[in-house]
Amino acid sequence: MVGRKNQEEREVMKVHEYGDCSFCQGEVKEARVELDYRYKGRLYVFQNVPTGVCQQCGEKYLTARIAKEIEKKIQKKKWAKTIAVPVEVFTEEASV
């Protein structure tokens, strides 16, 4: 067992070097975007992150290097700011 990382914690992002999109085969191009990053059950927002974005479906991809950087920053617990996020359980209402 050589330091194999628990992949289950990444709910949104798949980590890989940018190739074609694994969902739609679209072209993935790098852009600086805002990322919602879930780690150990908590939500973090990172801005200005170099991220692969599928030009067709918008799926986002991180390289292993950037994902590692993000997790390092999470462990440091130093933030530019903290925001409150509203949470609501969705129920359908009869009004149309």
Q: Please give the residue ranges that form the binding site for Zn ion (CB under 5 A).
A: 21, 23-24, 26, 54, 56-57, 59
Q: What is the C-alpha separation between 21 and 60, in angstroms, rounded?
A: 9
The residue at minimum Cβ distance from Zn ion is 21
**What minimum distance in Å lies between the beta carbon of 56 and Zn ion?**
5
19 vs 43 by CB, closer to Zn ion: 19
Contact 15, 62 (CB under 8 A): yes
**What minimum distance in Å lies between the beta carbon of 19 and Zn ion?**
11
